[in-house]
Amino acid sequence: MLDKFGVEPSEIGKKKAAVEDFDAPTERMTSIIPLLYQSGYITIKDYDEELDLYTLDIPNKEVRIGLMKSLLPYYVASKAPETNTMVAYLSRDIRNGDIDAALRRLQMFLSTIPQCDNTKYEGH
Is residue 76 within 8 A of residue 52, CB to CB? The reply is no
Phi, psi for 96 (deg, rounded to 5): -85, 0
Q: For 66-109, write each residue's pLDDT tens digit.
A: 888 888 777 665 555 666 788 888 889 999 999 999 999 888 87
Q: For 21-64, write each residue's pLDDT tens digit.
A: 887 777 777 888 888 888 899 999 999 999 999 999 999 999 99
Assign 80 to helix, strand or coil.
helix
Mean pLDDT score, 1-19 = 81
Q: What is the pLDDT of residue 30?
A: 82
Q: What is the pLDDT of residue 11?
A: 82
Rg of the chain taking only CA atoms, in angstroms: 18
Q: What is the pLDDT of residue 116?
A: 58
Of 116 and 48, the one with more pLDDT: 48
Domain boundary assignment for the chain: 9-57, 61-110
Q: What is the pLDDT of residue 95?
A: 92
Is residue 122 within 8 A of residue 87, CB to CB? The reply is no
Q: What is the pLDDT of residue 93?
A: 92
Q: Which has the closest alpha carbon to 12: 87, 77, 71? A: 71
Q: Which residues contact 6 (CB under 8 A, 6 or more apart)?
A: 120
DSSP state for residue 113 in the 8-state scheme: S
Could you tell me where the DSSP H helices lie in 5-98? 19-22, 33-38, 61-75, 80-95
CA distances 90 to 41, 46, 51, 109, Å, are 24, 34, 43, 10
Q: What is the pLDDT of residue 6?
A: 78
| Arithmetic mean of pLDDT over the chain | 81
